[in-house]
């Protein structure tokens, strides 16, 4: 519909700036990785129930290295509903519009505080439980 309106506006000779391009949410581990490595992702959302977990286990470290905020959500089906698919392991939000920048800034601040800057949960490696042979 957007492209149809754009073609009609071009045929009438109207300005093409009035029709806004929809913002997209980038999904897929390869696309999100390239966005993070090129510092174009503003927020990365990772599902906690990805199988195999090795697909996304390194992504928080990369986000911390590049200083990109990330959050871990409860279900990959919730991320899939966000993009219109059944499941999604990881989703990235690129640069928002000017009118949406304030809301994204608050989300980024919360994500930085709860995930990127929180180092205490990374310092504990085990539960202190001994095995049956110990």
> What domains are defined for the chain?
19-118 (3.30.1330.30)
pLDDT at 97: 82
DSSP 8-class letter at 101: H
Average pLDDT over residues 100-105: 86
d(CA 39, CA 47): 21
d(CA 35, CA 113): 22
d(CA 46, CA 59): 8
d(CA 48, CA 59): 12
What is the per-residue pLDDT across 106-133, written as a single tens digit (0 to 9) for each?
A: 988 988 888 877 776 666 666 667 667 7
In the beta sheet, which residues pair with residue 93?
43
Write down the pTM of the prediction: 0.73
Query: 77, 86 in Cβ contact below 8 A?
Result: yes
The side-by-side arrangement of strands in the sheet containing 26-27 is: 26-27, 90-93, 43-47, 70-73
Specify the long-range contacts of residues 77-80, CB closer than 8 Å, at least 24 apart. 78/47, 79/27, 79/45, 79/47
For residue 93, is pLDDT > 70?
Answer: yes
In the beta sheet, which residues pair with residue 19?
none
What is the per-residue pLDDT across 7-46, written as a single tens digit (0 to 9) for each?
A: 888 788 766 655 565 577 889 999 999 999 999 999 999 9
What is the per-residue pLDDT across 33-83, written as a single tens digit (0 to 9) for each?
A: 999 999 999 999 999 999 888 999 999 999 999 999 999 999 999 899 988
Strands 43-47 and 70-73: parallel
Nearest to 67 by CA among 44, 89, 47, 90: 44
pLDDT at 50: 92
């Amino acid at each position: 519909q957007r492209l149809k309106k754009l073609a009609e506006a071009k045929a009438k000779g109207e300005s093409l700036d009035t029709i806004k391009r929809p913002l997209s949410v980038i999904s897929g581990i390869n696309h999100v990785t390239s966005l993070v490595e090129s510092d174009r992702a503003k927020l990365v959302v990772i599902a906690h129930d990805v199988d195999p977990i090795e697909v996304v286990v390194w992504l928080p470290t990369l986000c911390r290295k590049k200083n990109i905020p990330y959050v871990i959500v409860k279900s990959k089906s919730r991320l899939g509903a966000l993009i219109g698919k059944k499941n999604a392991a990881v989703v990235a939000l690129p640069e928002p519009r000017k009118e949406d920048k304030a809301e994204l800034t608050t989300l980024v601040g919360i994500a930085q505080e709860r995930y990127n800057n929180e180092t205490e949960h990374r310092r504990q490696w085990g539960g202190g439980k001994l095995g049956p042979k110990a």
